[in-house]
Amino acid sequence: MSMRIRRLLHGVTQKLTHIPAHALFSRMLTRLLSAWLFAALTESVLFVCAYGASLDAPLLADLSAPAAMSLARLVLITLLVFVMLTALDLRLSGRVFSRILSLLPAGLFALLSALWLAVSFAWGLFASALLIEIILLTFALFGRDVRAEDAGTLPQNAARPAAPEKHARLYGWLTGILAVLVFAFLSVWTVSRIYTFSTPSYDLGIFAQMFHHMKRSGLPLTTIERDGLLSHFAVHVSPVYYLMLPVYMLFPYAETLQILYALVMVLAVHPLWKLAKLHGLSAPLRALACAALLLYPVFSGAASFDLHENGFLTLFLLWLLYYIDKNRVIPAAVFALLTLSVKEDAAMYVGVIGLWLMIRAMANPGPDAEAPAAAAPGTRRVVNPFRHLKDMPFKRKRLLLGLGLFVTAVGYFLWVTAWLQRAGDGVMTGRFDNLIYDGSGSLFAVVKVVFLCPFKVLFECTDPDKLPYIAYSLGLLAGLPLITRRYERYLLLIPFALMHLVPDYVYMHRLFFHYAYGTTALLFYLVIVNLADIRPRLLRSGALCVTAALCAVWFCLTVIPKAMYYPQRYVRNRAYFTAVCEKLDVVPDYASVACSTFYAVRLADHDVLYDIKYCSTEHLLSCDWVVLNRAEKNSYKKYADKGQENGADNLIRLLEDNGYRQAVDPLDDMLIFRRPGLTVIDPAKP
């Protein structure tokens, strides 16, 4: 018996040693994917048979499917099938079985699709299932692209001089000029929103008051965000705002924040230019890629809702991806930490990038090691404390960096969410209630649904309300993020699904909101690397020209009209807005204030500031001053009687009954009340 076992192990070893490591890893992933799809198909068949559904009752419309499935059984079936496929792969490692194994995921997914489409048909679900089936068949029939992926950074090419480019500096200057023009455009747009009182308390009013407190005490305190004094970090942990604080201390105005926000956005073209150059795109193509980013309406249009911490994500993630491809560990770690400082959910981007990098390191053939640079004769060698990182084997460095990013991101997310639950306002998991089937309020329930019933996730992602966003965001990029034969790159689309398609929160799949910055960075990275894999230069140039043209046309059709409304409105009504500012200057800096939502930014330099729509009546009547705009119907809904649309008159009576009197003459719909006994100082008098 022992002799047979030895012969078997010897035969297995002989087979494994003749197969490259990246091919072994790819076959292992194929077996694992097939095993999971078989287990998911089994769970789905058991559920459909037990439910006894008909075509008139779509089973995926609710959470009954994942609630009835067993995660333990799914894991057990997956392991058993994986072991069986592994044994067969070792025993029957011929060309026929290899082709069968490669086709197995596509076949199992086709069966799973047919089952769920039969009981829950929807055109969006059908289209997404067809797209995934095409991708699986492409990999089954043509295999993974195993060409060298980083031709400019591999050790054997490191000393090769770059080919001279004609007019490269000219295209760089053109890109810089476009970036300056877009910066000026965004600055005028967002600052005009302040001048026309179009910026609400959520979110710019919150950040403007937070920076006022940061300037005075160094702490990110607000009273307007949750109807009482608290740290903004109890709601969202965003220490990245301290990068803006030095400039704000020199120019303490809300307009400063808007201009810095525009600057952070346009600076993202710098790492994108370097990424495109690193991956071999010519100077004209680099300029086109940068122009596409600046004019991409999903990116530039997000400025319409003013300053937000998410705006840092595009810049930080593109630098992180650049230094990963450059194989620079320390700068990559720095930008990973900066990304984590943006917000608690930014850990998702770092974690997904870490997972992608690990699989990329194992799936690519690549070089085995990097040769350390030799010192010139007669020169003294400088001791580098990070020399062990530089001299580390190429693939091992990638693998360890990916593992480090993944572990750090998961660890940070677990810590920060636990801290928010204990000392803060909790994590906003309500946006994923459409997938939290057990009522736990935990995001781990979403992960369970992904594995138990992947078609429930696809069903939610292809909701009719979300299809326009998919067509808009991917269509303007000519579908380039999807065109690849390197399967690990599809992992970088996970944040796109989680941020925009999976949640039921309506603003996350609408245009002109600030949730698209992180996904934009990943989409444009995929555009660059997928273009680099296209060998015919004409096809590569044509695809990028189409992308840039689509972005430019839709920028002119959607973003420019929306943006120009505000400066035009200010020019037409400048005298009125100046008069409003003069009225608001009557309110002393030391006073406590409650106001309508669109006056909050102008009054943000008060230590105590409440938004009338969200504050309690107790806090309202504790304020020294109350500033109203009767036209803002939504601000007074809780004071409206049954059948009324606007409760402003009821609120005014409440204030007058509690002794408040108008401090200055009304200006159209603007009313300013003060508590009795307070002195009114007219700023117009010396």
For residue 210, being part of any structural domain is answered with no
CA 416 – CA 571 distance, rounded (Å): 46
**Could you report the average pLDDT of every consecutive run of 10 residues in the chain (686 residues)?**
54 53 84 96 92 64 89 96 90 78 95 92 93 95 81 44 70 96 97 96 94 95 93 93 97 96 97 95 95 96 93 97 94 97 95 96 65 45 50 75 96 91 77 81 84 93 92 94 94 95 88 92 97 90 95 96 96 95 91 94 95 92 93 87 83 92 88 78 46
Inside any domain, residue 475: no
What torsion do the CA atoms of 25, 28, 34, 40 make, to the nearest 10 degrees?
A: -100
CA distances from 379 to 113, 375, 382, 383, 387 (A): 66, 7, 9, 12, 18
Residue 61 lies in a domain: yes
The end-to-end CA distance of the chain, in Å, is 106
How many CA atoms, within 13 angstroms, populate the side-chain half-sphere of residue 279?
27
Distance CA 561, CA 305 (A): 15
Report helix, strand or coil for 418: helix
State the pTM of this model. Answer: 0.91
How far is it, in rounded angstroms, from Cα 234 to Cα 420? 6
The Cα diameter of the chain in Å comes to 106
Q: Tell me if 641 sits within 8 A of 647, measured CB to CB.
A: yes
Q: In 3D, which of 384, 313, 379 has the Cα closest to residue 347?
A: 313
- How far is it, in rounded angstroms, from Cα 331 to Cα 334? 5
Domain count, the chain: 2
Which range marks the domain in which residue 607 is found? Answer: 584-674
10 burial class (0-12, 13-18, 19+ CB within 10 angstroms)? exposed
Q: Of 142, 176, 201, which residue is a domain's last?
A: 142
Question: Residue 161's pLDDT is what?
Answer: 45
Q: What is the pLDDT of residue 293?
A: 97
103 occurs within a structural domain: yes
Distances (CA, A) of 323 to 240, 558, 626: 20, 34, 52
In-domain check, residue 494: no
Supply φ then ψ for residue 592, to 5 degrees: -90, 140
Residues 125, 128, 130: CA angle, nearest 5 degrees:
105
Q: Which phi and psi (to 5°) does residue 611 adopt?
A: -90, 125
The answer to whether residue 668 is domain-embedded is yes
How far apart, in whole angstroms, are the C-alpha atoms of residue 531 and residue 545?
A: 12
pLDDT at 635: 87
What pLDDT sits at residue 12?
Answer: 47
- The whole-number pLDDT of residue 595 equals 94
Report whether 420 contacts 237 (CB < 8 A).
yes
Last residue of a domain, one of 116, 142, 168: 142
At residue 652, the 3 state secondary structure works out as helix
Name the DSSP class of 514. Answer: T
Counting runs of H as helices and runs of E as strands, what totals does the chain give?
Answer: 28, 7
pLDDT at 634: 85
**Burial level of 7, CB count in 10 A (0-12/13-18/19+)?**
exposed
**Residue 636 within a domain:** yes
Buried b (16+ CB within 10 A) or exposed e, 97-110: eeeebbbbbbbbbb
Q: Please give the DSSP secondary-structure letter assigned to residue 230.
A: E
**Domain annotation covers residue 468:** no
Structure tokens at 582: 């003069």
CB contact at 8 A, 109 and 40: no
Cβ atoms 591, 601 nearer than 8 A: no
Q: Is 681 exposed, middle or buried (0-12, 13-18, 19+ CB in 10 A)?
A: exposed
Distance CA 202, CA 193 (A): 14
Location of structure tokens 């939290």:
436
Q: Which of 142, 166, 196 is the last residue of a domain?
A: 142
Beta bridge partners, 628, equal 671
pLDDT score for 370: 40
